[in-house]
Amino acid sequence: MNIENKPLIVVENLCKGFEDGEVLKNVSFTIREGDLASIIGPSGCGKSTFLRCLNCLELLDSGSISIAGVTVSRRPGQVPDEKMLDIAHEIRSEVGMVFQSYNLFPHKTIIENIMLAPMVVKKQGKDEAYELAMKLLDKVGLKGFASKYPSTLSGGQGQRAAIARALAMNPRVMLYDEPTSALDPELVGEVLQVMKDLDAEGMTQIIVTHEMKFARDASDYIIFMDNGEIVEYDDGDILFTTPKSERTKAFLRHFVNTGVA
């Protein structure tokens, strides 16, 4: 953690609901450049929705999100216009996202998966995109898998390829939604290691995870969400040892009891 770093993401009074009701209720939150934040919380509390709002896969209902100086804000009931949608698109190109099920493009090889967005979105030349892709594959330890199809990869390899694909767009921040939940336990470590490496390089990252040990050891701070609200966020050790809220205590107790953490 580096106190002097300036805020990279500022979220204020973010609200988001679906047909069946409110999911995020007045969420406010700041993250500084280079930080690694973990989000924990019970199932259905809105963690995924929060991440998806951050990169505008879901457009917020009201509030404002500011990422690297680009701000999308919406008043309650405001109908989104072209300009808001353009900003949403701009934010998406600044943010890399990694999903639980990796979502590689099955009709393309690993290297093509990584080259696609730089070529299509940034209009990079083929050679340039290839070089970058190879560099990223090397970084995530998949150099030998460039011409393989996603269906032939193991879960851990697939997830590392998905991280490389997101990195190819040179994002300011990486979001991960339970990146290791679909993996066999012995494959979890290799993916977490990639995130630790990225943290060492100064990448800003937000990770929704159930890996309590990783959250505690690697994160600059941990966000505990419950029922669509951020209940508390703090340094990992502090939050785990002396949680302020009863809800946090209950949640952590549950994890200790089931032996996950």
Partner 1 sequence: MKKLGLFLAIIMLIVSSACALQAEEMKELTWGGDSEGGFPYMFPNPQNTDELIGFEVDIVEALAEQMGRKPVYVNNAWENLIPGLNRKLYDISINGLEVTPEHKDVVNFSIPYYKTYLQLAVRKNDNSIKTLEDCKGKKVGTLKESFAQELLEEVGDIDIRTYNVEANTYEDLANGRLDAAFFDHPIALYSAGFNPEIKFVGPEVGELEYAIAIRKEDKELLTEVNKAIVALRDSGKLREIYDRWNLWTPTMAAEFNDYSPSKIEASRYNEWAEAHRPHLTFAKRLDRYKDALPAFGRAAIVTMQVSITAMILAITLGLTLAITRVFAPKWVASIATLYIEVVRGTPVLIQLFFIFYGLPSIGVKFSPFWAGAIGLGLNYAAYEAEIYRSGLFAIPRTQWESALALGMTRWQAMREVILPQAVRVVIPPITNDFISLLKDSSLVSIITMVDLTKAYGQISATYYDYFGPGIIVAIIYLLLGLPFVRFARYTEKRLAAVDKDGKYGHRENIYRSSTRYI
Ligand X SMILES: Nc1ncnc2c1ncn2[C@@H]1O[C@H](COP(=O)(O)OP(=O)(O)OP(=O)(O)O)[C@@H](O)[C@H]1O
Asked if residue 18 lies in contact with residue 46, where contact means CB atoms within 8 angstroms, the answer is no
Among all residues, whose Cβ is closest to Mg ion?
48
- The residue among 13 and 101 lying less far from partner 1, judged by its C-beta, is 101
SS (H, E, C) 164-225: HHHHCCCCCEEEEECCCCCCCHHHHHHHHHHHHHHHHCCCEEEEECCCHHHHHHHCCEEEEE
Q: How far apart are CA 192 and CA 240, in angstroms?
A: 20
x/- site string to ligand X, residues 46 to 85, per CB under 6 A? xxxx------------------------------------
8-state DSSP, 153: S
Using DSSP, state whether 158 is helix, strand or coil. helix
> Hey, what are 84's tokens?
């808001």
Residue 92 near partner 1 by CB under 8 A: yes
Quick one: which segment of 104-112, 138-146, 186-194, 243-251 binds partner 1 (CB under 8 A)? 104-112
Residue 48 near Mg ion by CB under 5 A: yes
Minimum gap (Å) between residue 160 Cβ and partner 1: 15
Q: How far apart are CA 113 and CA 99, in angstroms?
A: 15
The correct pick among 8, 23, 95, 163 for binding partner 1 (CB under 8 A) is 95
* Residues forming the site for partner 1 (CB under 8 A): 55-59, 80, 85, 88-89, 92-93, 95-97, 99, 101, 103, 105-107, 116-117, 120-121, 149-151, 162, 165-166, 169
